[in-house]
Amino acid sequence: MKGLVVGVVVGAWALILGLGFIWFISRRKRHKDNKLDDHINDVFFAGGFQTGIGPKKFSLVELVKVTSNFKDELKLGEGGFGAVYRGYLRELDTYVAVKRVSKASKQGIKEYASEVTIISRLRHKNLVKLIGWCHEKGELILVYEFMANGSLDAHLFKGKSLLTWEVRFKIVQGLASALFYLHEEGDHCVLHRDIKTSNVMLDSSFNAKLGDFGLARKS
């Protein structure tokens, strides 16, 4: 009987210690995520970003819902930055591309903030439209308009489709128009600094739109 009591007491203490350890780890993670969120806000507002205008601030719950919890079957692509998922916004009745930045990505907080603060001020038919953003619980997420024909590199190098010379010329014209706007027509000169075929997106009519402004800089 004495051995049974001792066993119960030891087991109870082990359970309490285990639960305490789990609570400590969870609390520490929440604290770390909150510090990250606060740091991102500091970076945003230091750059004069106003949350009341431009792209919408989404909650993490909303984006989990529209991507079916970032379901693998909805993944559009993946790279060093993380992964892009197709989502559906019921209130706008439209598909979107949801870019979830990997926590192991070299694309850090400043690049994420740069993309939001710079592209939110740009308006041009040949730039990918930023619909919204989210930084919550340590997640960095961007929501873009959905580009039905994906990136240019998929057609040039991966055999997605054969682009006619007429279509290629239209793509070149669109990209040139985007760069002229960034360099000459906008309120500020914006240097993209990462122009490559994987960052040139194509809509359903093969109109080119330049995206991924994580390395962009105003001058």
**Active-site annotation holds for 93:** no
H-run or E-run covering 91: none
- Ligand-binding annotation for 158, yes or no, is no
Distances 135 to 23, 82, 130 between C-alpha atoms, Å? 24, 15, 15
Catalytic residue of the set 33, 153, 194, 203? 194
Q: How far apart are CA 87 and CA 64, in angstroms?
A: 9
Coil/strand/helix, residue 77: strand
- Triad 207, 208, 212: Cα angle to 5°: 145
**Residue 197 carries which side chain, given as an amino acid letter?**
T
Answer whether 120's CB lies under 8 Å from 50's CB. Answer: no
Per the annotation, binding residues for ATP are 99
Per the annotation, binding residues are 99
Task: Give the catalytic positions in this structure.
Answer: 194
